Amino acid sequence: MSALRVDGVTVRFGALVALDAVSFTVEPGTVHAVIGPNGAGKSTCLNVLSGVYRPHAGSVYLGDRELTRLRPHHIARLGIARTFQNIELSGTQTVEDNLLLGRHHLMRAGLVATALGLPSVSREERRHRARVREITDFLGLSAAIDRPAALLPYGLRKRLEVARALALEPRVLLLDEPVAGMDTAETAEMAAAILAVRAELDVTVLLVEHDMGLVTRIADRVTVLDFGRRIFDGSPEAMTSDPDVVAAYLGGAPPSDSPRAVSPSALLGGAPEGEK
Amino acid sequence: MSDRLRRVPVVAGWVAAVALLAVAPLYVDAFWLQAGLVTIAAAVGAVGLTLLVGAAGQLSFAHAFFLAVGAYGYAYLSGRSSSGTTVGLGVPPVLGAVGAVAVAGALGLAFSPVASRLRGIYLGVASLSLVFVGQHLLQNLTSVTGGFNGRPTPAFTVAGFDFTGTEPELTIAGVPFGAVERLWYLSLLALAGACLLARNLLRGRAGRAWRMIRDSEVAAAVMGVDVRRGKASAFVLSSMFAGAAGVLSALALDRVVPDYFGLLLSIEFLAMIVIGGLGSVAGAVTGAVFVTALPLVLARYSGVLPLVADAGSGGVDASVLARFCYGAAVVLVILVQPDGLAGLGRRIRSRLRRTTPPPPQSGPDACPAGVLQETP
Amino acid sequence: MSNLVELLISGLSLGSIYALIAMGFVVVFKATEVVNFAHGSILMLGAYVIAATYSRIGFPAAVVAGLAAAATAGLLIDRLLVRRLRRRTHTALAIVTIGVDIVLAAELARRVGTDVLNMGDPWGDDTWRVAGFTFPVARLAAIAVALVLIAAFGALVRYTDWGVAMRAAAEDAETASLMGIRLSRVSLVAWMTAGVLAAVAGLFLATFPSPGLSATANTTALRAFPAVVVGGMDSLGGAVVGGLVIGLAEALTAGYSDHLLFLGHGLGDVAPYAVMIAVLLWRPTGLFGTKELSRV
């Protein structure tokens, strides 16, 4: 197992500095949370890790391997899978096909073999369908396996995103607000699922979240971002008493016209707000 | 078991359709067989385009260009040089046809760096260029294309059996088998092959990747799909289907001329796959039948139909009326039935089934055509 | 030398006509995210109405009628189709306009038939000689009218409430709508303006040195699409620059076609498309188009 290391990453959008020389390390086998108010750069951070954005400075390493210049599909093949805050499933395809898509890089069938319907292709399909079954059983999606993803209720679609990421057989799982918009019961189920993933599948989890309750319950380590800067990195217990974190969230006059709009209730596990 | 029972009517339908098509030359007159040949060629092309536009979500007007490449490629490879005007290589016809498809694929590959770098709708506009550049080449590369007047389609002969003539003579059930009857079977075989290949692709690894690219390029990429390569593969395969359709059109039409391969043909192909239901093989074939056969049917019965004027009279003749119909059909499909005739068929089937045992999941109908669905 | 100057003027004139077409296309795209493949047919509709009515009602009134017809076509497409299809994908919207184009183009081509219709314009084939150069008056008129319209349209976008609303909607339609911007009005004005600009362009495309309005006028108008792509699909300034680039490229390749015979006859017709492919290979979103940042 190798650590995921973020080293001095800076991302700018025009004049806006979304990430400002941010560094942290996700130790293998942990659940690591990245939190922060709206506009703190959390989603940008995930986009850099998964190769969707290219940072202006800094590097990302998985073990010794530098990921910074790789295109997203290479990063995925190296074992980093992710989910999206705003659910990016293939809505017309069934749950099963969405999960098989996650196994795209594990499958070998070429265009010619597929077109001709060679026996090796159907054997491969069967093998991967069996594994997909296991994943849907694991996450409680088996009843919906033949349904188009768009027709699933919201909570199941969120869970399908996690399942699809797991279908890649990743070493590191990046979760972008996995419980956003969920009620208490759904949140609890998702938390249990995340812990099970870590424990049973031996996957490192990096979690971007608004929901402080969830973070303090399941995270081993927390990195707090504020306006693109890292203001804290340590254990969840230490975080709650850290003066910078408290100031960023609760008090302290935020700089003028800040987009920060986190209400105390959001902090305590209420409805989180969307972030662009 | 019940699943297998439910499939019986479907299988029976297919068997009946194949049987009907197989005996058609014995009962149907040459006009309809000829119309059928053009329609089958179009269907092969439409199946290819639905891979690109329906599955991978890349709007393209370039299809007519690749049909032209197939048609002229075959005429060039297998044709003979004629008195200093056009050049031909005289390659055996089967090799010539395969070669033409390969050339279409190669040109598709050559354009794919443009195709795969462009996002969504940019490809639609950029692909217009291939049609017009293609027209320019067809008019000007006279030694290959014959220029404005085109060039004749070389005979398609396999082991002494001429599919485009009467050698050796053949009479079945009292019907003399000429070019049209022979080509009918050849074309049907090609269509069946095209449908099978496309179906396998759509159901397999490639099809899943294309649909994911269509629904979200970013998600496809972070799931390990090489997006550029996926788009390029859809583009190349679709050009190869178009190439095959071009060869079949050349055989059906007896002569290849530049005018046939203009922008209108590309637009007709888009109309076919939209009306049939994007991303569906059966839909593409149905749409091809609708768009290609409609003007022929209307022209045939223009004397009987009240509104149809004679061609060239300046009134609404058969071809204009046909365009009104499929233009309106395209708009209607998008407005009320985004998954086209194929979706309509699915809906009716599931309605029928519901009267017998209820299906395991009766969601609001199977799969809406993804390209046209609402954005999240 | 005189040849070059005349070609440049002719290219600028053609380019400014393309710019009018391209601006209409871009404004519709910005306001409603519709790639309007029916734009060429709307242009032809405007030109056809002018050609069909000038002998009865006189040229000025015919122009007004032509502009009104094209604007009405835009209005109908917006009200009957685009409005009902908000939230659909770009592809779905583009395909609807293809459907409209099929019907409109078929009907217009039928009406024009094999004729070439005179536009009844006052310039005819007059030319203007100055310092040894010869310029067709119709071409100069095209430049003058196009310049005025480009400036007026620029002012409309920059200074009016509608312009501000349109630009806000282009940035983020959802937020703009929450801020109280009436998207339906933005969309309506965009479609009607695009129709008017297209009809003016249609008029000049069919005047001297062109022989008149033929059944394939909508295809000629498609040459403005490369202008749109070269400039960048969401950039109005880009549309003007792209139009001029394409117009000049077409006029120069046509003008020097004798020297370019190794590339075949009729090169001017394909030059716009060749330029477009070259630009796209270099910059996939055109010269001034914004790089689409994926928001996930």
A29-64 per-position pLDDT tens digit: 999 999 988 878 888 999 999 999 999 999 999 999
For residue B240, what pLDDT band results from cuts at 50, 70 and 90?
A: very high
User: Cβ neighbours of residue B234 under 8 Å, at least 6 residues apart?
Assistant: B51, B52, B55, B56, B58, B210
Residues 213-252 of B with CB under 8 A from A: 214-216, 218-227, 233, 237
Contacts of C295 in chain A (CB under 8 A): 276
Predicted pLDDT at A267: 39
Contact assignment for A121 to B376 by CB distance below 8 Å: no
What are the angstrom distances between the C-alpha of B60 and each of A271, B39, B326? 43, 21, 18
Predicted pLDDT at A254: 45
Q: Is pLDDT of B361 > 60? A: no
| 3-state DSSP percent of chain B in helix, strand and coil, to 5 | 70, 5, 25
CATH number of B2-372: 1.10.3470
Closest-CA distance of chain C to residue B319, Å: 9
Residue range B310-329: average pLDDT? 85
Helix ranges restricted to H, B256-375: 263-276, 281-300, 318-336, 340-355
Contact assignment for C296 to A276 by CB distance below 8 Å: no
Query: Could you state, in order of their start, the residue ranges of all structural domains in chain B?
Result: 2-372
Predicted pLDDT at C290: 73
Contacts of B211 in chain A (CB under 8 A): 90, 92-93, 97
Identify which of A178-182, C53-57, C210-214 has the greatest average pLDDT: C53-57
User: Cβ neighbours of residue B21 under 8 Å, at least 6 residues apart?
Assistant: B188
Interstrand relation of A31-35 and A204-208 (parallel, antiparallel or unpaired): parallel
Report d(CA B295, CA B297) in Å as an integer: 5
Q: Hey, of A88, A108, A122, A146, which one would you mutate to test binding to chain B, going by the most B CBs within 10 A of its CB?
A: A88
Report d(CA A120, CA A134) in Å as an integer: 22
- Residue A43: closest C-alpha in chain C: C296
Contact assignment for C296 to A43 by CB distance below 8 Å: yes
Closest-CA distance of chain C to residue A117, Å: 31
- Spatial CA neighbour of C23 closest among C275, C217, C280, C235: C235
Residues 52-91 of A with CB under 8 A from B: 52, 71-73, 75-77, 81-82, 84, 86-91
For residue C25, what pLDDT band results from cuts at 50, 70 and 90?
A: very high
Nearest residue, CB atoms, B209 vs list A92, A101, A121: A101
Q: Is pLDDT of A118 > 80? A: yes
User: Cβ neighbours of residue C152 under 8 Å, at least 6 residues apart?
Assistant: none
Two tokens, residue B268: 């007709």
Nearest residue, CB atoms, B204 vs list A71, A76, A109: A109
Query: Could you state, in order of their start, the residue ranges of all structural domains in chain A?
Result: 4-79+170-267
- Contact in structure between B168 and B250 (CB atoms under 8 Å): no
Two tokens, residue C155: 């002012």
Report d(CA B122, CA B61) in Å as an integer: 11
Residue range C238-253: average pLDDT? 92
Contact assignment for B223 to A91 by CB distance below 8 Å: no
pLDDT tens for each residue of C161-172: 898 889 888 888
For residue A204, what pLDDT band results from cuts at 50, 70 and 90?
A: very high
Tell me if the pTM is above 0.80. Answer: yes
ω into C209 cis (within 30 of 0): yes
Question: Which DSSP category does A273 fall into?
Answer: P
- Contact in structure between C102 and B323 (CB atoms under 8 Å): yes
Q: Is pLDDT of C267 > 50? A: yes
pLDDT tens for each residue of A156-198: 999 999 999 999 999 999 999 999 888 888 899 999 999 998 8
What is the DSSP track for chain C? -HHHHHHHHHHHHHHHHHHHHHHHHHHHHHHH----TTHHHHHHHHHHHHHHHHHHH-HHHHHHHHHHHHHHHHHHIIIIIGGGGTTB-HHHHHHHHHHHHHHHHHHHHHHHTT--B----SSTT-EEEETTEEEEHHHHHHHHHHHHHHHHHHHHHHHSHHHHHHHHHHH-HHHHHHTT--HHHHHHHHHHHHHHHHHHHHHHHTSTTS-SB-TTHHHHHTTHHHHHHHH-TT-HHHHHHHHHHHHHHHHHHHHTTTTTGGG-S-HHHHHHHHHHHHHHHH-TTTTTPPPPPP--
- Residue A84: closest C-alpha in chain C: C296
Nearest residue, CB atoms, C294 vs list A13, A52, A176: A52
Contact assignment for A73 to B225 by CB distance below 8 Å: yes
Report d(CA C34, CA B286) in Å as an integer: 28
- Spatial CA neighbour of B48 closest among B33, B66, B68, B21: B66
Q: Is pLDDT of A261 > 80? A: no
Using the Cβ of C281 and the Cβ atoms of chain B, whether some distance falls under 8 Å is answered with: yes
- Residue B263: closest C-alpha in chain C: C219
In this prediction, the answer to ipTM > 0.95 reads: no
Does the domain at A4-79+170-267 match CATH 3.60.15.10? Answer given as no
Residues 150-209 of B with CB under 8 A from C: none
Using the Cβ of B129 and the Cβ atoms of chain C, whether some distance falls under 8 Å is answered with: yes
Nearest residue, CB atoms, B219 vs list A71, A84, A148: A84
Using the Cβ of C155 and the Cβ atoms of chain B, whether some distance falls under 8 Å is answered with: no
Contact assignment for B271 to C228 by CB distance below 8 Å: no
- The rounded mean pLDDT for chain C is 88
Using the Cβ of B267 and the Cβ atoms of chain A, whether some distance falls under 8 Å is answered with: no
Contacts of C294 in chain A (CB under 8 A): 52
Closest-CA distance of chain A to residue C242, Å: 26
Contact assignment for B59 to C284 by CB distance below 8 Å: no
Two tokens, residue B171: 């009479």
